[in-house]
Chains A and B, each alone.
Chain A
């Protein structure tokens, strides 16, 4: 038995703003994967020695690499905002039988984000 499927055109997601955001959010995953590649190239350069690390710094300073990473940053931030925004719907937390308000769950995520980012920055920059 086959189920009737209404034909959908390829660019259905351009019809509404919320659909565009949905597709952009999904595409953020491509930039998450790009970041893994970038991170592994960095780790490889560091393990190969000081000269190799300097070559990585020069390479990452080229205008097109900065451009890619600016775009990547915007997509990753879209991921952060939408991910934390959906967190209260993904997790229902109860304390002494009372449901923790969604806003507090979102706030806790941003707090954890700030603390971890601070710790990573301290470790790299100290």
Chain B
């Protein structure tokens, strides 16, 4: 018998927090910086203003949480996409390493970038 605690409930919690954060925050940011400014629908804010916003510790904390949770949301969903969508469950170990490993590496990069703003 395997008595080790399964990490699955924890991963599901990260998945659902990430799904909520992605739904609430990503559309407006993607709309502004990915579409509205590049297409000239709105004029892009000045560097000084954005620097002041991003330099605020609260902004950086929120952005860090957004990045980490969104990445773990991706990891969990993409893992099951590969299992079910592409019928790759026999490669479960490398898939788990790729997905959650990718999310951990991305989180470390996010922390590094946000700490040095």
Which residues of A are in contact with B by a Cβ distance under 8 Å? 8, 10, 13, 23, 26-30, 32-33, 35-36, 38-40, 42-44, 46-47, 49-50, 53-54, 57, 60-61, 65-66, 69-70, 72-73, 76-77, 79-80, 83-84, 90, 109, 112-113, 116-117, 120-121, 123-126
Contacts and interface: CB of A to CB of B under 8 A. Distances in A.
Given A70-B35, A84-B23, A57 B110 contact: no
Contact of A43 (B27, B35, B84, B117): B117
Nearest to A119: B28
Contact of B113 (A47, A53, A72, A79): A47
Classify chain B's interface size.
Answer: 35 or more
Contacts of A73: 27, 30-31, 34-35
B26 A32 contact: yes
A32 B74 contact: yes
A46 B34 contact: no
Contacts of B76: 29
